[in-house]
Chains A and B, each alone.
Chain A
């Protein structure tokens, strides 16, 4: 890396350092990623191993988050659940952003009847409350984690498509596109090499914010019974199972939910922070 490059990096880091909320977000997300990467090493117990002697025990020195009705250690289950949630969040957003951006860019770039048809379909999909669409898709595909991911991706695709189309339409009037065209650059090459890289920034910001939201929706589907199936330690499914025991234990419900909240908060803080760095006008919000 060149000296100038290093200096640029340092300046970026300093800018990040001046945003305490962004730093908090980064710390949270890094923590969650570490948990998701090394759940076995970090959890004190096996998340699937039941121990009926220690059923539904309140938080203690041995079990920081208490135990569930099968005597399984909740802390270990919450740690292992991070992997399910993180993977779901990233895969859904990646799929939706990739497919959605492609569809939106092509529709905006080529215009005409193709654009009309695609955007009408997008309108219909967006006019649907997304939780309901996700539920219908997940139920139709059959309750499983993979199907939850597919369902949530389909729900997000039209939102990225609409955004990317707007970006491309806006960028098409800019001078660099005009000059590329004047130089005789082919249409496909203009789209891929000139337009897409310049339109990518908002997608990245939206993507970061959406990882958190996706984690929440995946948990909601798990809660309804459409997501990951037991005994897999998914946060939403754990809360759903805890419903039968709320008379006897507060911890069984509390800790998995807290994990969802913290994860979601972390990604939101990063998304907000990046947006402020890129566009200082929104910083005061």
Chain B
């Protein structure tokens, strides 16, 4: 198992390298000029030249790319054109917010999705089932940014129940940073005001981000469980006189996990992309908004850094899913042949 994980992590390196080259290529294909965006269209031509030299943009692309890769190996991600700070400092400031949002949304997707799917599958063609199916059809078709705005109009502007944006109230100092995740930091330091405020702020963006994914998880859970309900060993379990809850949890759900896990891996990837739009809607100070700002400014250093992080997180989540296959289904083993079942 360890060997398998190590091999998968090593495989991440070429993927990342290719990703860096890809983004680099894309950004240099760009007809837009970051210097022009930075200094404005009416600046003195000499200022453009100076800026270009300062940022190393006057050198040929391959030199820029090699310089970047060289710095990257030493852990230097360069300086952001937008914020003027080292990119690594920006990541430190913005990444925890995105991680908190994404993990919360993933948690919601899995818990609510599996629950709805199970209910739907054990009571097929009832009200629960039909409403789950309708909700999941709508969920997949609902634009994230639109749902976010509608909820802001309703719960923030009209009802005033929930804050409309940001991570924490402006009058509430954030909890002492330990993990950077406000919920956990608030809990650990016993800062209940900060915990409450950040929990309220997390509710709407988390739900909006999770909405479509809840639908996907519910759908796959229902389908996967229905494929097992009629099998002989389930009938045997029922015939033995086991309680229904036990048959569902131990006999059906346990064997339905594999497709659900695959979907969770996919969901995790989608969440990262969805986080971008969600963060824009809810003024969430995370990597997604940072990425949008950087992309608009054609700031390749920040974008490459974002791409590296997004790809790494995505790969790690998929690795976790693959490892969990073996945990859920003991027949799957990664230690024997190379390549294995992964």
Report the Cα distance A124→B11, complex, angstroms. Answer: 11
In the assembled complex, A97 has its CB within 8 A of some CB on chain B = no
Partner of A129, one of B31, B141, B226, B310: B310
Q: Are B273 and A129 in contact (CB under 8 A)?
A: yes
Report the Cα distance A271→B31, complex, angstroms. Answer: 37
Residues on the A chain within 8 Å of B30, using CB: 139-142
- Count of A-B contacts with CB under 8 A? 140
Q: Are A124 and B15 in contact (CB under 8 A)?
A: yes
In the assembled complex, A127 has its CB within 8 A of some CB on chain B = yes
In the assembled complex, A136 has its CB within 8 A of some CB on chain B = yes
Q: Are A123 and B15 in contact (CB under 8 A)?
A: yes
Report the Cα distance A285→B219, complex, angstroms. Answer: 7
Per-position binary interface string of chain A over residues 238-270, scored 1 when its CB falls under 8 Å from any chain B CB and 0 otherwise? 011011001100100110110011101100110
- Do A140 and B32 contact each other (CB < 8 Å), given the known contacts A127-B15, A253-B153, A284-B223? yes
In the complex, chain B residues 282-338 whose Cβ is within 8 Å of any chain A Cβ:
291-292, 295-296, 298, 303, 306-307, 310-311, 314-315
In the complex, chain A residues 72-129 whose Cβ is within 8 Å of any chain B Cβ:
120-121, 123-125, 127-129
In the assembled complex, B91 has its CB within 8 A of some CB on chain A = no
- Do A285 and B157 contact each other (CB < 8 Å), given the known contacts A136-B26, A136-B27, A243-B149? no
Of A31-39, A48-56, A172-180, A216-224, the one contacting chain B is A216-224
Q: Which residue of chain B is the closest to A140 with respect to CB atoms?
A: B30
Residues on the B chain within 8 Å of A128, using CB: 19, 22, 307, 310-311, 314
Q: Are A260 and B276 in contact (CB under 8 A)?
A: no
- Do A127 and B19 contact each other (CB < 8 Å), given the known contacts A242-B149, A269-B137? yes
In the complex, chain A residues 265-285 whose Cβ is within 8 Å of any chain B Cβ:
265, 268-269, 282, 284-285
Q: Are B272 and A285 in contact (CB under 8 A)?
A: no
Partner of A285, one of B26, B138, B153, B223: B223
> Shortest beta-carbon distance, B35 to chain A, in Å?
15
In the complex, chain A residues 219-238 whose Cβ is within 8 Å of any chain B Cβ:
219-220, 223-226, 236
Q: Are A132 and B150 in contact (CB under 8 A)?
A: no
Q: Are B23 and A246 in contact (CB under 8 A)?
A: no
Report the Cα distance A264→B222, complex, angstroms. Answer: 22
Total residues of chain A contacting the partner, CB 8 A: 49
In the assembled complex, A212 has its CB within 8 A of some CB on chain B = yes
In the assembled complex, B166 has its CB within 8 A of some CB on chain A = no
> Shortest beta-carbon distance, A234 to chain B, in Å?
13
In the assembled complex, A22 has its CB within 8 A of some CB on chain B = no
In the assembled complex, A135 has its CB within 8 A of some CB on chain B = yes
In the assembled complex, A192 has its CB within 8 A of some CB on chain B = no
Partner of A140, one of B15, B27, B280: B27
Partner of A224, one of B274, B277, B307: B277
- Residue of A123, A136, A223 with highest tally of chain B CB at under 10 A: A136
Partner of A239, one of B146, B152, B291, B303: B146
In the assembled complex, A130 has its CB within 8 A of some CB on chain B = yes
Report the Cα distance A260→B260, complex, angstroms. Answer: 28
In the complex, chain B residues 135-166 whose Cβ is within 8 Å of any chain A Cβ:
137-138, 140-147, 149-150, 152-153, 157
In the assembled complex, A27 has its CB within 8 A of some CB on chain B = no
In the assembled complex, A145 has its CB within 8 A of some CB on chain B = no
Residues on the A chain within 8 Å of B29, using CB: 140-141
| 26 A-B contacts (beta carbon < 8 Å) | A120-B18, A123-B15, A128-B19, A129-B270, A129-B272, A129-B273, A130-B273, A135-B295, A136-B23, A140-B26, A140-B32, A142-B30, A142-B32, A223-B280, A224-B276, A224-B280, A242-B149, A246-B149, A246-B152, A250-B153, A253-B149, A256-B146, A260-B146, A264-B141, A264-B143, A285-B219
Q: A129-B273, A135-B292, A226-B295 are in contact. List 6 more A-B contacts (CB 8 A).
A: A132-B306, A137-B26, A140-B29, A220-B144, A250-B150, A261-B138
B residues adjacent to A (C-beta < 8 A)? 14-15, 18-19, 22-23, 26-27, 29-32, 137-138, 140-147, 149-150, 152-153, 157, 219, 222-223, 226, 269-270, 272-274, 276-277, 280, 291-292, 295-296, 298, 303, 306-307, 310-311, 314-315
A residues adjacent to B (C-beta < 8 A)? 21, 120-121, 123-125, 127-132, 135-137, 139-142, 212, 216, 219-220, 223-226, 236, 239-240, 242-243, 246-247, 250, 253-254, 256-257, 260-262, 264-265, 268-269, 282, 284-285
